[in-house]
A and B are shown apart, each in its own frame.
Chain A
Amino acid sequence: MISKESVKYSIKNLKKRKGRSLLTIISILFGITTIFIFVSFGLGIYSYVNNFVTGSTADKITIMPKGSGVPGLDQTFALTENDVRAIERTPGVYQVEGMKWGVTEIYQPGARKYAFVVGYDPEKTMLLEWGSVQIEKGRNLKTEDRDMVVLGYNYMFDDKILPKGLDINDKIRINERDLTVIGFFSSIGNPADDSQIYLSNDFFSELFPEVVGYGMILVRADISELDRVVENIEKSLRQSRGLEEGKEDFTVSSFKDMLESYTSALDIIIGFIVMIALISVLVSAINTANTMVTSVLERTKEIGVMKSIGARNSEIFKLFLFESSLLGFLAGVLGVILGATLTLIGETILFQLGYGFLKPSYSFWLFLGCILFATITGALSGIFPALNAARTNPVKALRYE
């Protein structure tokens, strides 16, 4: 029976040894906080990835040329209009869109930056679906739009890309031409994608005549047969480009594939960090055991007194076990509070830095799990000291000074 008095007794004992209790709590707390932070960010990334798997990105297949340079910019094996036609004829393919990629210098007084320029087909919505983005401000491009540009999210703000943020109808100079900003995309969540410049394919060719091929072809396919469609596309492209199997100069991958390799890498990284945190909790468990051993020694006489007034061994055991569990519990509660605070701060900082997709996700089970884990750690580390306390010989204990 855990009575009100024994709870009070334990709390008073922890309070009396404030410094030591606090150090013990802190030692468990760090491990718990680390676990909380990484698991919550891990969950956040998983749910971000999951949005793609279930969202508008899920039915997309990407075809990229192989090359030694920056993907999409290397013209060695550029994908051609011919390839687009071949893909369009492939069974299971619903829609195809080729995108052209280039690099440009952009200026503002006191700043000279390089930016990726993407040419796309504004009549098709695939690019928007693929990146899960919408128009944040202004409007989307039309095929016939010339000298007009849609910008990534980060261009709206001062000091993110350019010293001064841009607005609708502002001008931006690309390849010696002043283009009018007509819209901004919403945030994709990482600084690279949010710094891109978008043109219609036709105007892109006018501005970048040297870019002849597509940097990437996006395909919307039958979601129930993605793997087969990927194979079909590979076959079609081999035919259209006259290549043997195994000597492809392009890669075809469904988003699902990419996510799978991504999440399994993520599993390993998070697993590894959580394992290190678990080791730190294990070390702190030893520390807690040490605290409890000292605490039992200090209270030898008290144990003797309690036994003399009728405390059974089991009650002494429970008393000390409760105390170490309480230490663990307090560390757990403080650990998740600290963890939640740090992840919230981290989220804000990462968002400022443009990594909006890196955000923690909290579940009730994460909170409960961390607190429970800390409590169990406390309890386990208290078992041996509590057993020692319970087995104390009352006669010797009463004589103990």
Chain B
Amino acid sequence: MDEKKNIIVLKDVAKHYSMGHTIIKAVNGINLKIKEGDFVAIMGPSGSGKSTAMNLIGSLDVPTKGEIYLDNHNICHLSESDLAQVRGRKIGFIFQQFNLIPNLTAKENVMLPMIFQEVKEAEREERAQKLLETVELKERINHYPSELSGGEQQRVAIARALANDPEVILADEPTGNLDTKTGEKVMDFLNKFNEKGKTVVMVTHDNELAQGHAKIIYWLKDGKINKITKKGKSGWKSIKNGK
């Protein structure tokens, strides 16, 4: 057995939505264990339930059925506020559309998650500054999102995701809105973060991107894990569903 601890565990997780009289089973019985330091990609065509899975992993949503453990704590029964706290502390989100707050500067955007964790102001400033330097945006610190290129915005988003030193980064199509070159640069930062022993979970439909960076790929289809592939020394090999 791997001695690394499980950071995220999904047990028989299902998420059903009702639309009128029909029930949509967006996620229908997923089991997975993500270990500390993993770089996981969740792959699948649109409608496969990968976005829903991502929301569940990120504790943005609670499952209809099953249990989710984040760092060994069951998060299914937490109140919305506690969930927000856990999310803010343990998870950093990166979105396809960057999702920066347009009225705040790069630095203020990075400081925002720290406000919600009640980090002191001086520390917020210092850490935001450092993080923006890490993503090579030292010169753009006081710029507003509208004054930044897509790549720059996504790097601000990465800095923001790292603000509270989370255990996991959840990236939803992080390069989806970027050209290849800029996308690569963004992926470099995610790789660096992973190399420091932190966990990255990336949702994508881009096979090349998943295989190029992830170590494990969960392939989703119709709300279920269809297969799991793992990167070995001799390339990718299929392993069984982790049930």
Query: Is B199 an interface position by the 8 A CB rule?
Result: no
Give the size of the chain B interface in residues (CB under 8 angstroms). Answer: 33
CA distance A3 to B58 in the complex (A): 26
Report whether A3 and B60 are in contact in the complex, using a CB–CB cutoff of 8 Å.
no
Query: Is A311 an interface position by the 8 A CB rule?
Result: yes
**What's the least CB distance linking B155 to chain A, in Å?**
16
CA distance A306 to B113 in the complex (A): 8
Report whether B112 and A306 are in contact in the complex, using a CB–CB cutoff of 8 Å.
yes
A94 surroundings in chain B (CB, below 8 A): none
* Interface stretch of the complex, out of A5-13, A79-87, A115-123, A280-288: A5-13
CA distance A9 to B160 in the complex (A): 17
The residue from B81, B87, B100 contacting A308, defined by CB atoms under 8 A apart: B87
Report whether B80 and A313 are in contact in the complex, using a CB–CB cutoff of 8 Å.
yes
Report whether A5 and B112 are in contact in the complex, using a CB–CB cutoff of 8 Å.
yes
The residue from B89, B108, B117 contacting A5, defined by CB atoms under 8 A apart: B108
**What's the least CB distance linking B222 to chain A, in Å?**
20
**What's the least CB distance linking B111 to chain A, in Å?**
6
Given contacts A3-B121, A5-B108, A314-B81, is CB(A309)–CB(B113) below 8 Å?
yes
Which residue on chain A has the smallest CB distance to residue B100?
Answer: A305
- Across the A-B interface, how many residue pairs have beta carbons closer than 8 Å? 79
CA distance A176 to B189 in the complex (A): 107
Report whether A1 and B118 are in contact in the complex, using a CB–CB cutoff of 8 Å.
yes
Which residue on chain B has the smallest CB distance to residue A316?
Answer: B84
Query: Is B39 an interface position by the 8 A CB rule?
Result: no
Which residues of A1-54 are within 8 A (CB) of B? 1, 3-6, 8-9, 12-13, 16
Query: Is A211 an interface position by the 8 A CB rule?
Result: no
Which residue on chain B has the smallest CB distance to residue A13?
Answer: B103
A309 surroundings in chain B (CB, below 8 A): 87-88, 92-93, 112-113, 116, 160-161, 163
A4 surroundings in chain B (CB, below 8 A): 121
Report whether B121 and A308 are in contact in the complex, using a CB–CB cutoff of 8 Å.
no
B160 surroundings in chain A (CB, below 8 A): 309
Which residue on chain A has the smallest CB distance to residue B99?
Answer: A305
A to B CB contacts below 8 Å, 17 in the list:
A3-B121, A4-B121, A9-B101, A9-B104, A305-B95, A306-B101, A306-B112, A307-B60, A308-B93, A310-B84, A310-B88, A310-B113, A310-B116, A310-B117, A311-B88, A395-B60, A398-B95
Residues of A within 8 A of B (CB): 1, 3-6, 8-9, 12-13, 16, 301-302, 305-315, 394-395, 398
For the complex of A and B, 9 pairs with smallest distance between CB atoms: A310-B88, A310-B116, A12-B103, A312-B81, A309-B113, A312-B84, A305-B99, A308-B93, A394-B60
